[in-house]
Structure formats: C-alpha cells, structure tokens
Amino acid sequence: MVLPVKRSVRFLPYDIVIEVEEGENLLHAAMEAGVHINASCGGEGVCGKCKIILESGELRSQRGAVQTDEEWQLGFRLACQSQVASDIVVRIPPESLFDRRLLRQKPPAARLRPMPFDAAELREAGKYEPAFQKKYLILPPPTLSDNVCDLRRLREGLKKQYRLDNITMDFFLTRKLAEVMRANNFEVTATLDFAQRRSRKPRLVQVESGNTTGRHYAIAIDIGTTTVWGQLLDLTGGEILGALGEYNAQISYGEDVISRIIYAGKPGGLQRLQGLVVGNINSVVKALLKKNKLKVEDVSHLTLAANTTMTHLFLGIDPKYIRLAPYTPTVCAVPPVRAQDLGLDLGEHVYVYCLSSVSSYVGGDIVSGVLGSGMYQEGKLTLFIDIGTNGEIVVGNRDWMACAACSAGPAFEGGGIRFGMRATQGAIEDVSINPDTGEPMLMTIGMVKPKGICGSGLINILATLMEAGFIEPNGRFREDLPTPRIRSGESGREYVLAYASETQVNQDIVLSEVDIDNLMRAKGAMYAGYITLLESVGLSIHDLEQIILAGAFGSFINIENAITIGLLPDLPLEKFTYVGNGSLLGATCVAFSREMLEEERRVALMMTNFELSETAGFMDRYMAALFLPHTQQEYFPTVMKRLAEAGRR
Amino acid sequence: MVLPVKRSVRFLPYDIVIEVEEGENLLHAAMEAGVHINASCGGEGVCGKCKIILESGELRSQRGAVQTDEEWQLGFRLACQSQVASDIVVRIPPESLFDRRLLRQKPPAARLRPMPFDAAELREAGKYEPAFQKKYLILPPPTLSDNVCDLRRLREGLKKQYRLDNITMDFFLTRKLAEVMRANNFEVTATLDFAQRRSRKPRLVQVESGNTTGRHYAIAIDIGTTTVWGQLLDLTGGEILGALGEYNAQISYGEDVISRIIYAGKPGGLQRLQGLVVGNINSVVKALLKKNKLKVEDVSHLTLAANTTMTHLFLGIDPKYIRLAPYTPTVCAVPPVRAQDLGLDLGEHVYVYCLSSVSSYVGGDIVSGVLGSGMYQEGKLTLFIDIGTNGEIVVGNRDWMACAACSAGPAFEGGGIRFGMRATQGAIEDVSINPDTGEPMLMTIGMVKPKGICGSGLINILATLMEAGFIEPNGRFREDLPTPRIRSGESGREYVLAYASETQVNQDIVLSEVDIDNLMRAKGAMYAGYITLLESVGLSIHDLEQIILAGAFGSFINIENAITIGLLPDLPLEKFTYVGNGSLLGATCVAFSREMLEEERRVALMMTNFELSETAGFMDRYMAALFLPHTQQEYFPTVMKRLAEAGRR
C-alpha cells in the first residue's frame, strides 16, 4: 500500500495553510481551510469565477474555456479545475473575494415607498394587532377545593380575563408549565398566536412567569440566493430594532439556484445546504439579539420569505423537481414548522412561518414584496419587478394579479459579462463618455481603481454608449468612430472602459458586443414578460399606472437609463417607486400585522402564474425586444426622442 | 489519595457477576447488573420487598423494621439497606423475583361486559368510523399547463374526490411528498385524522404511494403502575389483532406512584423513568408488529391511557405537584404529541393521543374505563370501581358523574400484608376452612407450594374466616377456638395458612390481625367513598342499578366474598359486570371510534372530582366502615343473613 503524499497549500492574502493529500482539488482544499473563493457554477469550470493565482509550486490544472491566454500566462488558474501537485502558494485575487461592502450599502432615500401600514399610527388608533400577542394573567393559586390542573387554570384565566376559548397549544409547553406558574405566585404572561393559518383557534405559544408583556420580539428573515438578511422586530410597538445581512453561505456551492439544486441532489448535499443557511440565520439572529441586549427566549415568532428554491433548501425539502419540467415545487404554502426542528437556535416554542410561493420561480420573496409594497391593496394597475439572478414580474392590482419569472439570466448581477461583478468596492457603477473623443469618466464604488462593472453600472454604460451614438439599435458598435477605445477584441468589438494600468486587475476592462448581447437578452426577456402578462388580460403597457421596483438592484438602478436600454417601460419617472428588499419588508409586515399574515396565502393563490416559455406569443415578443431599446419604437417614445436629439448634437 | 477498592458481587440464581466499589449500595449494584429485585418503596427500607440472602462474604446492613429475627438469622438482608463490604455472593429469593405468569393470565369469560360498540355490526351498517382514515387518490400528473405544487395537487385531489377541504398537516410530511407522489404515477393514499381535538379541520397525517387502504393499523397502550399493555388494532375492520403486556420497568424505582414521583424529583430521575416506560412501549409495539408481520410504517395512530402520574412520567412532565397539597396535576387534557419526540420507535407522522385525566388521582385510565365500559352512555345509576394500588370510584350515568380516589393503600395488591404478594405462581388465591378443626385447604396459582397470598386470595381467606366464625366483626380472632392454626404471633394473633415445611419460603405463611386491620382500612376507605359520592347527590347505596369492576383485580375477585368482607356493596350478583383492563379497553375504543375520541375530553370534564379527605362526612363514614362487614348492618342484609346462618351451624 502506498501512503498518500501530504502537501501544504498556503492561501494568500489570508496566509492560511492547510495540509491536503496530493491530487486534492484546490476548491475543496479552500473550503476545508475555510477560505472563501467565488464559485458560481458549483465547480463545473464554466463560470470562471474561482480564479486564483499560482504563486509558487505546481498545480495540475485544466484550462477553462473562459480563460484568456494572458490570464493563463499570468498564473491564473480555476481552483475548481486544479489539483494540488506539490506544496504550493496560491493567491486569491480581489475579484474572487467578496467584501462585506454590499451588505452595508443603504439604498438612497428618494422614491422609497412607505410600509403599507404605520405601526405608530395604528397603535394610537388601537388598531395595531400583530398575530402574536402577550396576555398578562393573574390566576388564583390552587386550593384543595380548587385543584384543577395547571393547564386548565391557565385556560380558565384566558377565558375569564380575555374571553379566549378553544385554545390549542404545543405539547412541549406543558413540561415547564408547573414551575412557570408557581415562580411568581400564578401571575403569568401567555403568548398567543392569533393567526388563522393552522386553525380557527388561538394557539398558546409560550407561558412566562410574571408580567413580560413589555418584552415581545420577532425576527423577520429574507433568504436571498446571495444574501441572508434578518430584522429584529419589537412586537410591542411595531418597531424595527435593527437589520443585519450576511452572504448566503450556500454560495460556495453555486451562485444561482440551479447549481444549488444540482448540488442538493448529491449525497449529503441537501443537508449541507440546509445546514449552511440555518447557520446564516443563527448567526444573524445571535448578532441582532446581542446588539439589542435581548435573550433568545424573548423571541416569539420568526417569519421568513425566500424564493421557492431557497425555501425548499431551508426546510430540507429536495428541490429537484423545481429544475425539471414541468417545474413543480413540492410545497408552496408551507405548514408552520418548529424552528428547533430545522436547527435554528431559538426557543422550543418558536415556529417558522414561511411566506407562500406561487410557483417554482415565483417564490415567497415575491409574494412578500407584493404584500410589503401594499400592491395587493391598491386599485392602480401596477407592475412589480424584482431583478436579481432571475427577474420576476407581477402585474395587477387588488382584484387580480398575474406573475411570471423571466429567465433573464444573471446578466444584471454580472453573470455572463466578462468584467461583470457584484456591486462591491471597485465596481464601475457609472460613467460618462465624451461623445467626441469617446473618453470615459468612471465612477467606482468606494472611489478606488476599477475591478469590473456592477449591474447598475452595466445599464448606465450601455445607455451612455447609446446616447453617445456609439451603439447601433442591434447592439453592434458603430465602426466609424474615431476613438481607440472601440476596438476588436476576443469577443467581437469592445469598448475599453479602463486600461490595465488603471485597474486593480491588471487587464483592460472592456464591454464587448458579446456582453451587450447578453444584456439585450436579459432586458428583452423582462420586457417581453411585461407585455405578455398585460396582454393576457387584454391590457397594454400604456395602461400601467405605477411600477414598483424590488431588490437591491431595483434600489440602485438609474431608472432613466434602464428605460433607455429598454429594460423598464417608458413611463414618467414619478410612476416609479421602490421598496428595497421587498422580501424582508413583507416578512416584517406579516410579523407586525395579523391581517397580513392571514392574507398572505390568499395573495399567493390570487397570483396567476405564467410559464412564459409555454405562453403563446412570448417568443415573438422576446425576439422583438432584442433591440435597443426595442423594435417597436412606439413603446419608447421619450427614449426615441432623446436619442434623436443626441444624434442631432 | 486512596483508590477505591473493587469488590465482586455474584447474583444467584442468575450467576451474574458485577464489580463495584466497596461500600456500594447492593440495590444499586443489582440495577447496574440488570438484575431485578422487587423494591416497592424505592429504596427507603420500609417495604421489605427487596430481600436477598447473603450466601457468602460480608454486607454492612441496616436491619429493617419489617424483618423478623428468624429472617435476619437466616441471612436475609434488605438490598436497599446493605453496602458491599467484601466480595460477596447473594441469592435473590423467589418472593423477590417476578415471574411473567401474571401477564399471561386470562380473565374468566363470565360476566364480561361487551365493548360499547360492535365494529363488525357498525361496518355492515356503514357506520364504522375511526378518527384516522385512509383515502385513495388518483391524481393527474403535472404538466406545463398544470404545474401547481405537489401539496396543492394533493389538496385538490382530496377536495375533488372526497370533498375534504381546509386540511391541516404536519410539516415533516412535505419532505417526502415529491417522491411519494411520483413513485406510483401520482396514485397515493392519504391518511387523515378527523378527530376534532386540535382543530375543526381534518389533519393530513401520512401520504403513501399507491393504494394502501387495506393496511391501516393503530396501537392502544395502557400504562399501569405495575404493567404496560399494548394492543395492535386493525383500523380497516375494527379488529384487535393481539395484546401483549410487560412489567412496567419503572418498578425498580418504586412500586407505587408516590415512590416514583419522589424518584422523578432526583437528578435525572424524570428522564430515567420516562425512558424506561418508553422502552416498555417500544418493546411491546415491536413484538406486536413482529408477530403480525407488520412494519412500523403501517401504524398511523397511538392512543394511550394511564393514571395521572404515569401519564406525566411518560410525557416527561415532572409530577411533583401531584404529591403535594393541594394535589394539582400539570395537565389533564394532554395536547397531541409526536411519538418520536417522546422517544417512541414509530413513524414520524404518528402522534400520541393520551386520554384525559380528571385530577391527580383519577386519571386517564379511569376515564378510559368509563368510556370503554359504555357507562357514560347509559341511563342506569352505575358504580364503576377500579381497585389496584389505589382504588378509584366513579358514580353516575350519562347525565352526571362524580369520582374520587380512595387512599385504600396497596393492601389488595399484597402491600402492607406480611405475606402479601402479586397474583403470580405460588400465590394462595383461594381457601376453604373446616369450621370445626380450623384446617385449611389451599389453592395456589400454578398449583405449587405456596409462597404468599395474592389480593383475591386475601379477600377469600378473610371471608372464609368470617363465615367459619373465626373472626369477630372488629377484625380480631376469636380467642376460644380449638385449633393450633390460630396463635399469637409477632403481630398479634394470626392464622397459619401453611407451615414452613409446606411452603416455598421456609416460613409459616400466616394472616395476622395487623394484616386484617390493613385490609379493613382498605375496604373501609372504598366503601366510605361509594357512600360519600352517592350522598353528595342525595342518593344512597340502595339506588345503585349496576356495578362495573375494572382492572385485573376486578376480573379475578370472588364477588360474593368481596361483598362479605364489605368491600363491595351488597347487591344481587347479576348487577355486577367487569371490563377487565378498562384502561386498555378505552384506549382501543377511541382508536376505533372517532366519536369516542371526540367525546373523551368532554367525559373527563363531566366527571366531578371529590377530594375525599376534604369532603364533609367522609371520615365518619370511613370509621363506620372499619368493621366486618360494616357497623351499619342494614347496608349488608344478605351478608348478615349468611353469617347468622353460618353461626347457627
């Protein structure tokens, strides 16, 4: 028997060293060492995100199709395609690292929609009513002539003091009941769940000694494919005490839902992904409680919104049929589940209420946004848009709603774009271009040397190039322009935003025609989606009365530029509002409002799902939208006017 | 530091050897070795049941108050009062061992009450309806134009095929839903719980592939203080497939509920007792399933009845306040609890339904008996009696019920009686006495040499001695009798049933005046209880229309003799019936009948509990009953007549 040879791997800039067997995959080694490297495709070698630089030693590496000659010669390797062949030192380049900046960005205050209710106002009007409420009870201590069981004493108190009858309860509460009731001479505080999801009866959730009505908290969670956000809520007054986000730890197993579904199908994969996101939530909850000096026992309630795949993974339900035609999720309206049964570090009385999904690709995050934005209560014909890795759209009002997911691809998150990146430090987020010289002025996040281009940057650059007249409506660079910035590159013609020496990545940062094609496909799918949903009920884009943007992307986008490239409908700017993280907002709303918690399932059922690929006319509309801004110019009257004016200059 | 000295302890007749530290308590050593020794009092040295014989070596033993000189000299020691002082060999005498015979006894067929319903008859009339039912569903497989989630497809099937709506469900079912539905092309069998205890909505309990409606089983469990019984039930047809009993493994920590409550208060005690009885149930269930070639997945439902303390211990709820004035249980109406959460080896979909208790000493076993006997449906004024370690009585009919526990003590189970023992092999169960010579003819269980006297034997012996004219109404032996069988002993005068040489225990087996006093106190408490409950509603013992006896004791008792000693009211024999194990019967009934499952909580609430010690008049009635048969002879007209006749002979 030959003993395996041990090799050391040193990861820079962290200077973390790990011993592995020779032949070990470098991405695995990094995971084991706790070193984060981006890996969008789950290790299939196709995304090219897990680049590392081999500084010394030997790797057996497959060259990825996404790598340029230059990169290869500079020592760039894909970690997922490399095996350790000697003691090595590797460096993780900036673009393969996350920084936490994304999680600290605050959306601008302008055009933000208010929450659909004002807790303070409701409280004053005596109408503030969360589903979970605490009731203080002064019970008569037992005597020999009144020695009913403790539970019955409690029930009778609820009946006498609060006219509450037919209470249901969780078994586990009984184990501590005797001591809790006696600890403060039969003065107790009962927490009740008045949501009607499980039954028409109030459910007894918790019993505490003495009067704890002043301490009553809930947690709202949004599990995004990229980030996990939590908010700590004071249920006594309807106040948000704090918010905190983390990268979704599942990212190491794929940046998009499809890679994670595939990983979940591998042995132990589902359990690992489930454990990772539960770890995220535990860490967010712990930090929120610590910061507010609260104990875990003070939390009564956890509400959670996520897309359908994230919901399945969080619950430990194999999402595999979400990916396979005919794309059926296992469960859209999730029965309440005990937090501890999922591994959450919360009291044994805490149940998780997941917002309902509509379909495999219109999830609880969208239903949550529809709730949180108040769209479901308004009469105006509304278009609700959430653009992230996928784009989801909802059209309708309080009477009807249609929804769909657009396979827009992750172009607006930088996917499929050679220099695309997340909106973190060094990302180009805005540009202006001198139409005469073609020279750009770049604005990066953090005002540092550029590393790449973030989603809102891509839109701004494309719109700017259009307005400068550098791009034809078909997405090709004009050939007659007197600027060296436009040149032929590896992927057709390209515009050089920054030369290698001006960047952090030692390469020219460019936007190529291939990139533009990808952006056109993404925006075209969205636009075709709007039209398809509207026309399915006999309406047109001109009937829209308001547009609500959700998601971090929706918050940072330059709306005018998004209209210019044909991503958003050409409507007056005042009709656009945004809700920020709609998913988190809705989860917060249902924690604060019994009515909204009771409504959410009805809202989800009310949303008619369209599988766009199966909907007659969608493909034609999509093809028609693969143009800047669109083949049908009448959809974009103000853009056409603006471009024409620019052309005249 | 001095190292502890190791000593070996050899247990005969098992020949099990264990090494312990010098000074170790011998009862602990036996527990650790897995050797069973009776220990009624939980190691307090007062019951005298844990006798062992020191065959060699040295024990440091306290002499128990219950031990005779003779026993001490023969090497008898109380295990709980002995510390290991050298390598030793000890023998466990027959009376300190159980045998499994008790568990195999079948009650006689005479006077047995039928179940309150006939499943076969109901089935024919189309009225057989257990709370748990299986529904076979043929669902349309999903397509791109009908790709709702699996759960909704199932819900829609239940609605279309069975008009079932507003289903609730347990979260865990969702995890396997996708595969179960696809395994047989969307043909599935759903198990639903129609009991209204948790909510007005049916609850989805289980989903299986294909048509499994022919396989549908439940388990009914009775946890007695002494034995744990289980029945395997075929829910498809309302049939009992088998029954099996085991000694309650908690016995090693005390034979009565009080000792177990005390033990539960010690560190880890509650968890240990909980684990032991769960182990009992697991072993009974496993054996029942194996014998009937069924899998654990075939079981949908577990119903359970037990006295209040046993119920608390099974659920892991500290029963301490049951023992302390004012005697409040923690919970009488137990919320359904998932079997797996209690450690039961059953499917994750199985919930335990515990029958409701009335008070600390009138438990779910009594409510179960009241249900199973059908008493709660009848118009006749009924007295329901369950005599075991305690005696519980219920008086009433379908319109009202009063109940109480009598601190009768365990006399009828052999407790407090010098030669009292359980109804196992070697127990004297009947006797006839030659009134002239005083010589007895003994009948023992298993027809072997006697070891002691079981409960029914005690009643028969006392009645026989009364009828022979050997005992005065005050419980003293007549002094003028010409038989050496009556003599002065250590505890006053005594009657010798068997001389040492004729026994298995090498001692004279006697019934002493102290024993008779204990029996009088036990029967007096019961009788005073009947009168007190009846008079509380303005009725008298003469108004009783029927008497139902429950419990193993009730099954084996000679009713005439029990009337003679004043334990049972003096009514015509045809008014007496028995139900055997009423607790198990009721648990079975609620598994078979949705209506009875829904009724049981109402029945428990309907039963007014009397704390006899707090009830005016009880003590006077008790004092009046400390006589054979009673000071008020008008209560026992036929007995007085019979005794008078015997006296004349």
**pLDDT at position B411:** 79
Lowest-confidence pick of A363-372, A512-521, B5-14: B5-14
Mean pLDDT of A292-301: 95
**pLDDT at position B479:** 85
Mean pLDDT of A556-580: 91
**pLDDT at position A184:** 97
What confidence category does residue B47 fall into, taking pLDDT thresholds of 50, 70 and 90? low
More confident residue, B181 or B469: B181
Could you list the residue range(s) of the whole structural domain that residue B488 is in?
Answer: 414-518
**Domain end call among A209, A239, A258:** A209
Task: Pick from A480-489, B182-191, B492-501 the range whose average pLDDT is largest.
Answer: B182-191
Give the number of C-alpha atoms closer than 13 A to the C-alpha of residue A135, restricted to the C-beta side: 25
B-chain residues near A315 (CB < 8 A): 171, 174-175
**pLDDT at position B39:** 57
Our CA-based measurement puts residue B91 at a distance from the nearest CA of chain A, in whole angstroms, of 41
Regarding whether B434 and B513 lie in a shared domain, the answer is yes
pLDDT digits (tens, 9 = 90+) for B525-538: 999 999 999 999 99
Q: B150–A329: do the CB atoms touch at under 8 Å?
A: yes
Residue A102 is assigned to a structural domain of this protein: no
A41 has a pLDDT exceeding 60 = no
pLDDT digits (tens, 9 = 90+) for A183-203: 999 999 999 999 865 556 899
**Domain end call among B152, B181, B209:** B209
Q: Domain count for chain B, please give it.
A: 5
Regarding whether A345 and A429 lie in a shared domain, the answer is no
What confidence category does residue A102 fall into, taking pLDDT thresholds of 50, 70 and 90? very low
In B, minimum Cα distance to A352 occurs at B171
Residue B106 is assigned to a structural domain of this protein: no
Q: A148–B360: do the CB atoms touch at under 8 Å?
A: no
**pLDDT at position B106:** 41
Other CB atoms within 10 A of residue B264 CB: 27
pLDDT digits (tens, 9 = 90+) for B231-245: 999 999 899 999 999
Helix B308-315 × helix B364-372 angle, to 10°: 120
What confidence category does residue A120 fall into, taking pLDDT thresholds of 50, 70 and 90? confident
Q: What is the DSSP string of A346-386?
A: S-TT-EEEEPPPSSSSS-HHHHHHHHHTTGGG--S-EEEEE
A-chain residues near B334 (CB < 8 A): 171, 174
In B, minimum Cα distance to A335 occurs at B171
Alpha helices in B74-173 (DSSP H): 119-124, 150-162
In B, minimum Cα distance to A197 occurs at B168
**pLDDT at position A197:** 56
More confident residue, A35 or A264: A264
Mean pLDDT of B164-184: 93
**pLDDT at position A110:** 40
Give B352's strand partners. Answer: B302, B337
In B, minimum Cα distance to A338 occurs at B171
Mean pLDDT of A65-91: 85
Regarding whether A81 and A155 lie in a shared domain, the answer is no
pLDDT digits (tens, 9 = 90+) for A167-187: 989 899 999 999 999 999 999
A-chain residues near B177 (CB < 8 A): 317, 330-331
In B, minimum Cα distance to A144 occurs at B326
Regarding whether B393 and B530 lie in a shared domain, the answer is yes
Regarding whether B202 and B177 lie in a shared domain, the answer is yes
Is residue A191 classed as helix, strand or coil in its secondary structure? strand
A285 has a pLDDT exceeding 70 = yes
Mean pLDDT of B366-378: 96
Residue B116 is assigned to a structural domain of this protein: no
Contact criterion met (CB below 8 Å) for B48 and B72: no
Of B187, B68, B98, which Cα lies nearest the Cα of B136? B187
pLDDT digits (tens, 9 = 90+) for B313-333: 999 999 999 999 999 999 999
What confidence category does residue A45 fall into, taking pLDDT thresholds of 50, 70 and 90? low
pLDDT digits (tens, 9 = 90+) for B601-613: 999 999 999 999 8
Regarding whether A49 and A12 lie in a shared domain, the answer is yes
Regarding whether B421 and B383 lie in a shared domain, the answer is no
Of B272, B265, B256, which Cα lies nearest the Cα of B224? B256
Regarding whether A343 and A299 lie in a shared domain, the answer is yes
Strand order in the sheet with B187-193: B132-138, B187-193, B203-209, B168-169
Residue B118 is assigned to a structural domain of this protein: no
Contact criterion met (CB below 8 Å) for A204 and A151: no
CB-nearest to A147 from B168, B177, B326 is B326
Regarding whether B264 and B167 lie in a shared domain, the answer is no
CATH of the domain at A83: 3.10.20.30
Q: B142–A357: do the CB atoms touch at under 8 Å?
A: no
Cα angle B296, B302, B308 (rounded to 5 degrees) comes to 140
pLDDT digits (tens, 9 = 90+) for A337-395: 999 999 999 999 999 999 999 999 999 999 999 999 999 999 999 999 998 778 899 99
What confidence category does residue A109 fall into, taking pLDDT thresholds of 50, 70 and 90? very low
Residue B111 is assigned to a structural domain of this protein: no
A-chain residues near B172 (CB < 8 A): 341
pLDDT above 90 covers a percentage of chain B that reads 63
Residue A115 is assigned to a structural domain of this protein: no
Regarding whether B418 and B483 lie in a shared domain, the answer is yes
pLDDT above 90 covers a percentage of chain A that reads 63
CB-nearest to B149 from A172, A174, A330 is A330
B2 has a pLDDT exceeding 70 = no
What confidence category does residue A97 fall into, taking pLDDT thresholds of 50, 70 and 90? low
B100 has a pLDDT exceeding 70 = no
Lowest-confidence pick of B132-141, B225-234, B300-309, B383-392: B383-392
**pLDDT at position A313:** 98
Distance CA B105, CA B99 (A): 12
- State the sign of the Cα–Cα–Cα–Cα dihedral A35, A36, A38, A41: positive
B566 has a pLDDT exceeding 60 = yes
Eight-class DSSP state of B627 = S
Lowest-confidence pick of A95-99, A394-398, A505-509, A612-616: A95-99
**Domain end call among A330, A354, A378:** A354
Residue B153 is assigned to a structural domain of this protein: yes
Our CA-based measurement puts residue B147 at a distance from the nearest CA of chain A, in whole angstroms, of 5
Our CA-based measurement puts residue A32 at a distance from the nearest CA of chain B, in whole angstroms, of 29
More confident residue, A239 or A557: A239
Burial pattern A1-38, b for ≥16 Cβ within 10 A else e, equals eeeeeebebbbeeeeeebebeeebbbbebbbebebbbb
Distance CA B317, CA B340 (A): 16
Mean pLDDT of B466-472: 92
CATH of the domain at A178: 3.10.20.880
pLDDT above 70 covers a percentage of chain A that reads 93
CB-nearest to B142 from A171, A199, A328 is A328
**pLDDT at position B110:** 40
Residue B54 is assigned to a structural domain of this protein: yes
B400 has a pLDDT exceeding 70 = yes
- State the sign of the Cα–Cα–Cα–Cα dihedral B65, B66, B67, B69: positive
Regarding whether B200 and B249 lie in a shared domain, the answer is no
CA distances in angstroms from A332 to A338, A354, A582, B184, B218, listed in the order given: 18, 9, 18, 22, 31
Any long-range contacts for B181-184 (C-beta under 8 Å, 24+ apart)? B181/B139, B181/B150, B181/B153, B181/B154, B181/B207, B181/B209, B183/B209, B183/B210, B184/B209, B184/B210
A103 has a pLDDT exceeding 60 = no
Regarding whether A532 and A641 lie in a shared domain, the answer is yes
Our CA-based measurement puts residue A329 at a distance from the nearest CA of chain B, in whole angstroms, of 5
Q: B315–A359: do the CB atoms touch at under 8 Å?
A: no
Distance CA A71, CA A76 (A): 5
**pLDDT at position A100:** 40
The overall average pLDDT reported for chain A is 89
**pLDDT at position B104:** 39
CB-nearest to A335 from B144, B152, B171 is B171
Mean pLDDT of B500-505: 88
Of B240, B233, B137, which Cα lies nearest the Cα of B189? B137
pLDDT digits (tens, 9 = 90+) for A412-465: 877 789 999 888 888 898 887 888 888 888 878 877 888 999 888 999 999 999
